[in-house]
Amino acid sequence: MVELKQLLRGKLVLYGLAFLLLLLVYAIAQNPRPLVQSLAGELSDVYYSFNSRQPPPELVFLEIENDSVRQFGRWPWQRKILAEGLQRLEQAKVIGLDMLFSEATRARHDLALIQTLAQLPVIGGLFLNGPMSSELDEAAWSALADSAILGVQHSGLIASQRIELPTPQIREALPLLAALNITADDDQLFRHYPVAFQVHDLVLPNLAVQMWRLAKQQNVQLSAEHATLGAQYLPVDAQARLRLNFYPTDSWQRITFAELMQDDWQPERVAGRIVLVGISEAGVTDIRATPLGQIPGPLIHLTMLGNLFDGSLLTPINGLQLFSLMCVSLLIGIWTWQLRLPVVRIAVWGLQAVTLCVLGLLAYKYFNLWLEVFYPIVLLFLWLVLGEAWLFRISTAETRYLRNAFSSYVAPTLVNKLVKQGEDLHLGGQRQQLTALFTDLRDFTPTTEALDTEVLVQHLNAYFGLMINRLHRYQGTLDKLIGDAVMALFNAPLADEDHAYHACLAAAAMMQALEEFNHRWPDDPIRQLRMGVGINTGEAIVGNIGAAGRFNYTAIGDAVNIAARLESATKEVQQQWQQLPAAQRPCQRVDILIGEATYKAVKDRLPCYPVEELVLKGKSQPLPAWVLDWQKMVQDSVL
Amino acid sequence: MLALFFILFSMLSVARAQPCGAIATLQRIEGIVKVQPAQAAFPLRDVQVPHGLCAGDKVFTLTNGKALIIYDAGELVLDNSSKVTIIQAQQLNLDEGSAVFEVQRQAKGQELQAHTPLIVIGVKGTRFLLTSQDKNTQVALIRGLIEVQRQDKQEMAYYQTKPNTDVLELSEQERLEFEQFVKNRGQEFAQFAEQRRAEFSAFVQAIALQEGLQLSLGERDAKYIALEAPISDELEQQHNELAQWLN
């Protein structure tokens, strides 16, 4: 019982360890290391391939691609060409330039661009690299402040000490500036988009955010606690980054610069639209690696702008939501651990993992929620390994417990069966049909007197070894050894539908074994043993009977008592039997007596002969009994 | 962040009327100072002073900036890295940073009240310096008399500096705590140090701050604390620099 309690405690320990693993994985998910983050990203990036959304129709990518480069020469072009093209976008609502004019070129070309920029709702770019920001003059800071998000207190923003601006003349012409920086994740894939950057005491928005501000005339509210853009909640991370919700790369409205410069260009094509001018020509190296593959850098800005326009910003399932999900998984896991077959358990774990992936996909596709399914799946795997290891440990302990409890009583094959069907072991008593077998040595006193104690014990041990072996061979359970007597049970503790028959076979085998045992000392009659066997079938109370911590598996009841009485009667019946004429004796010896119920169970299969009804001690009515002719059974090779 | 805002019960006139109905004037600026009109996504470019400020307008000073805002009740000098929101004629928010308020004596029943989310300051013609940064608010009364109480009328643990400030004996635990404060929360160092020298006075709903004293308002161990002490050299110096801009 103590061991059983330890086993139960073992499962509680398993649940406790599983919860600790949950806390560990949850903590890692809250602040993942770069490698872990990359692995998580690799798994959840699959979601994007299920996204068939189209970008908002207001957005246009004006790209400088191969045809344009062939037509106007290698980038960078003369700024008057760019100025001419930008003039053709005059009907656009907002124009974003994903390019930086940090150096002066020919004065008349620069002037053409300056004059154009000053007339358009255009946002120019700046890069957060190059010269130190401390080198900027007050005019530059003032211009930056005009484009900045003022009044932001957010210590987590990505900060830069360096900044590269357009030339002062172009900077003054540009209505607004915006950062063009995008930061890659640790695996060098671009999945996140910083809303803004900290440069000294200014917070400079990124290009997509600035384009939204200009288009919608809405400001950004940004703090460590929350972020909003107009009325739109921004699910930013600690660095004020948003997860990009990519569109299929071929779904964008694209206009090439070459098209723009054609004589038949229709300015209405961009009327009221948001146009981002950028370079997709491969030679310019503004190509970024994303979960969808290599795409032009400007499309990352447009993707974020599209997310802002169609409200498809991805909200991570994190914090309490992720913790709750993990807890639900743990509850399912605890249920899974109750399943008996390992293969079923593993299948359930797998099913749960698949379900999580499907849930993550559905959450993404229909609710713009982002579940990093990596963490719960890793948790499932850890639970699987932990659980199987722990259950193996418990199973081993259970096996050891059962073997310890029964191996000395029950045949090894039965022990194996008990171990496999542990629930069939009922501790405590129950009423059931069984067959009880009793043996006792006849005329054993001379032997005990003749042999030294040590020799006698060895002799008895050899005898008991043979008897118990034969019992086990026929699924008998040794109940106890009482002096030189043996008490055995059939149909307990494990069910045996043919227990009466098996008890008879065991008794005959025991007699045969005893005969072989006696042949070891053909000339030493003192060592030769004689044995009587009584077998009776009936109802008895069987189970672990005794005090707590010390149980004794046994059977009690009238059926058992009668078996013992039958064994006692064998000697007397043998004597009576010998007095009969040989012709009237169906068999020569009466070594085994069986009761009525046993007889009825085996009469058609085994040689049994009635004897006179026996008046047994403690019984008011005489009972019928039969001799089991074990020698004929040996001859007929029944054993 | 503790936003500090003022409700002016008196109707204010402004120096220069604006189409939006200006209720205050940005009179003087130094360094980079930006004005962001109400509901605008971007600040105004090339603000020229004097500039009328309307309800909802925000005035920002950057690191090297300083601004003088005037109104009927008085003047406000905004220190660098600060932000004021003109809520309405009777209310200005000092969202962040520091400012010196010079408030002229008001008619009875029309006194200015200074509000924070936690406190209300009754002003009867006075000059005081307010700083609001992170979770700390300080009020240094240069002249006049003000009364401070919590917005929710709950009690504050009111500490006053001990008469003999030379004696400061710290236990080992207190010394470690002190060092940790200095290390991690430099901004609260002065407040903590003062509190070590101060003694608990009472739980009060309102504190009448006397001239020459400062009140440091903060929260420690989930308790709201008001620590009264002589104006520190740092605040004194800050006031002196800003006060030069007062007319």
Burial of A14 (0-12, 13-18, 19+ CB in 10 A): buried
Are B43 and A214 in contact (CB < 8 Å)? no
Over residues A411-434, the pLDDT tens digits come to: 565 566 666 655 444 556 788 999
Residue B11 pLDDT more than 90? Answer: no
Distance set, CA A452 to CA A448, A484, A525, B228 (Å): 8, 16, 15, 104
Nearest to A114 by CA among A168, A176, A173, A178: A173
Nearest to B138 by CA among B55, B58, B53, B79: B79
Closest chain A residue by Cα to residue B133: A153
A391 HSE (CA, 13 A, CB side): 19
Entry field: residues in chain B: 247
Tell me which chain A residues have a C-beta less than 8 angstroms from the C-beta of B2. none
Contact (Cβ atoms closer than 8 angstroms) between residue B94 and residue B100: no
Q: ∠A398-A435-A500 over CA atoms, to 5°? A: 110
Distance from CA of B148 to the nearest CA of A (A): 27
Q: Which chain A residues in 123-162 lie under 8 Å from chain B, judged by CB atoms?
A: 138, 141-142, 145-148, 150-151, 153
Distance from CA of A226 to the nearest CA of B (A): 13
Closest chain B residue by Cα to residue A224: B1
Q: Which two tokens stand for residue A162?
A: 């360096």
Contact (Cβ atoms closer than 8 angstroms) between residue B138 and residue B131: yes
Q: Which chain A residues in 307-326 lie under 8 Å from chain B, judged by CB atoms?
A: none
More confident residue, A488 or B218: A488
Over residues B159-217, the pLDDT tens digits come to: 887 655 454 555 667 667 656 655 565 555 555 555 566 777 888 888 888 899 998 88
Q: Give the DSSP letter string of chain B.
A: ---EEEE--SPPP-SS--TT---EEEEEEES-EEEE-TT-SSPPSS--SSEEE-TT-EEEE-TT-EEEEEETTEEEEE-SSEEEEEEETTEEEEEEEEEEEEEPPPPTT--EEEE-SSEEEEESSEEEEEEEETTEEEEEEEES-EEEEETT---EEEEEE-S-TT-----HHHHHHHHHHHHH-GGGHHHHHHHHHEEEEEEESEEEEPTTEEEEEEEETTEEEEEEEEPPHHHHHHHHHHHTT--
Q: Which two tokens stand for residue A490?
A: 């059939």
Contact (Cβ atoms closer than 8 angstroms) between residue A536 and residue A563: yes
Are A147 and B62 in contact (CB < 8 Å)? no
What is the pLDDT, as a whole number, of residue B165?
47
Nearest to B96 among A153, A176, A218 (CB): A153
Q: Which residue has the tokens 């359930």?
A: A348
Distance set, CA A292 to CA A66, A87, A295, A360, B230 (Å): 21, 33, 8, 18, 64
Residue A105 pLDDT more than 70? Answer: yes
Nearest to B118 by CA among B215, B243, B44: B215
Identify the helix (H) or strand (E) that includes residue A518.
Answer: helix A499-518
In this prediction, residue A380 has a pLDDT band, given cuts at 50, 70 and 90, of very high
The count of other CB atoms within 10 Å of the CB of residue A109 is 17
Using DSSP bridges, classify how beta strands B24-30 and A122-132 pair: parallel, antiparallel or unpaired: unpaired
Nearest to B62 among A201, A216, A219 (CB): A201
Q: Which two tokens stand for residue B132?
A: 């609001």
A340 HSE (CA, 13 A, CB side): 5
Q: Write the single-letter amino acid at A146.
A: D
Is there a cis peptide before residue A76, judged by omega within 30 degrees of 0?
yes
**Cα Rg of chain A (Å, integer):** 46
Closest chain A residue by Cα to residue B43: A146
Nearest to A545 by CA among A553, A556, A537: A553
A109 CB-near residues (< 8 Å, 6+ apart): A78, A79, A80, A83
Residue A54 pLDDT more than 80? Answer: yes
Are B60 and A214 in contact (CB < 8 Å)? no
What is the pLDDT, as a whole number, of residue A416?
66
Counting one residue from A and one from B, how many pairs have CB atoms under 8 Å apart? 49
Using DSSP bridges, classify how beta strands B206-209 and B146-150 pair: parallel, antiparallel or unpaired: antiparallel
CA distance linking residue B242 with residue B228, whole number of Å: 22
Distance from CA of B181 to the nearest CA of A (A): 20
Over residues A293-349, the pLDDT tens digits come to: 889 999 999 999 999 999 999 999 988 999 999 999 999 999 998 888 889 999 999
In this prediction, residue A116 has a pLDDT band, given cuts at 50, 70 and 90, of very high
Q: Is A397 helix (H, G, I), strand (E, B) or coil?
A: helix
Over residues A500-510, the pLDDT tens digits come to: 999 999 999 99
Over residues A217-247, the pLDDT tens digits come to: 988 888 877 889 888 899 998 899 999 999 9
What is the pLDDT, as a whole number, of residue B174?
67
Most B-contacting residue of A93, A153, A210, A229 (CB-CB within 10 A), to test interface = A153
Q: Write the single-letter amino acid at A320.
A: L
Distance from CA of A228 to the nearest CA of B (A): 13
Tell me which chain A residues have a C-beta less than 8 angstroms from the C-beta of B32. 138, 141-142, 145
In this prediction, residue A188 has a pLDDT band, given cuts at 50, 70 and 90, of confident
Distance of CA B200 to the CA centre of its chain: 24
Q: Give the DSSP letter string of A8-37.
A: HHHHHHHHHHHHHHHHHHHHHHHS--HHHH
Q: Write the single-letter amino acid at A587.
A: C
Contact (Cβ atoms closer than 8 angstroms) between residue A514 and residue A463: yes
In this prediction, residue B34 has a pLDDT band, given cuts at 50, 70 and 90, of very high
In this prediction, residue B59 has a pLDDT band, given cuts at 50, 70 and 90, of very high
CA distance linking residue B176 with residue B105, whole number of Å: 47
In this prediction, residue B113 has a pLDDT band, given cuts at 50, 70 and 90, of low
Distance from CA of A107 to the nearest CA of B (A): 26
What is the pLDDT, as a whole number, of residue B164?
52
Over residues A156-168, the pLDDT tens digits come to: 899 999 999 999 9
CA distance linking residue A632 with residue A639, whole number of Å: 10
What is the pLDDT, as a whole number, of residue A128?
93
Residue B112 pLDDT more than 90? Answer: no
What is the pLDDT, as a whole number, of residue B228?
87
What is the pLDDT, as a whole number, of residue B190?
56
Distance from CA of A209 to the nearest CA of B (A): 11
Nearest to A217 among B41, B63, B81 (CB): B41
What is the pLDDT, as a whole number, of residue A422?
54
Q: Most distant CA pair in chain B: distance in Å? A: 64
CA distance linking residue A445 with residue A347, whole number of Å: 64
Using DSSP bridges, classify how beta strands B4-7 and B112-115 pair: parallel, antiparallel or unpaired: antiparallel
Over residues A344-370, the pLDDT tens digits come to: 999 999 999 999 999 999 999 999 999
Distance from CA of A323 to the nearest CA of B (A): 27
Over residues A264-286, the pLDDT tens digits come to: 999 999 999 999 999 998 776 67
Q: Most distant CA pair in chain A: distance in Å? A: 145
DSSP category for residue A521: -
3-state secondary structure B110-170: CCEEEECCCEEEEECCEEEEEEEECCEEEEEEEECCEEEEECCCCCEEEEEECCCCCCCCC
Are B42 and A176 in contact (CB < 8 Å)? yes
Average pLDDT over residues A431-450: 89
CA distance linking residue B77 with residue B99, whole number of Å: 5
CA distance linking residue A151 with residue A201, whole number of Å: 10
Q: Which chain A residues in 465-504 lie under 8 Å from chain B, judged by CB atoms?
A: none
Tell me which chain A residues have a C-beta less than 8 angstroms from the C-beta of B36. 150, 219
In this prediction, residue A176 has a pLDDT band, given cuts at 50, 70 and 90, of very high
Distance of CA A271 to the CA centre of its chain: 55
CA distance linking residue A554 with residue A568, whole number of Å: 20
Identify the helix (H) or strand (E) that includes residue A113.
Answer: helix A107-117
Mean pLDDT of chain A: 88
Nearest to A490 by CA among A550, A535, A457: A535
Tell me which chain A residues have a C-beta less than 8 angstroms from the C-beta of B31. 138
Nearest to B189 by CA among B240, B140, B238, B227: B227
Nearest to A14 by CA among A408, A315, A384: A384
What is the pLDDT, as a whole number, of residue B4?
35
What is the pLDDT, as a whole number, of residue A551?
59
Q: Which range among A2-11, A417-426, A587-596 shows the weakest confidence by mean pLDDT?
A: A417-426
Q: Write the single-letter amino acid at A559.
A: A
CA distance linking residue A282 with residue A318, whole number of Å: 38
Q: Write the single-letter amino acid at A609.
A: Y
Is there a cis peptide before residue B50, judged by omega within 30 degrees of 0?
yes
Average pLDDT over residues A398-405: 64
Are A138 and B32 in contact (CB < 8 Å)? yes
Find the helix packing angle between A453-473 and A499-518, rounded to 10°: 140
Tell me which chain A residues have a C-beta less than 8 angstroms from the C-beta of B38. none
Alpha carbon distance, N-terminus to C-terminus of chain B: 30
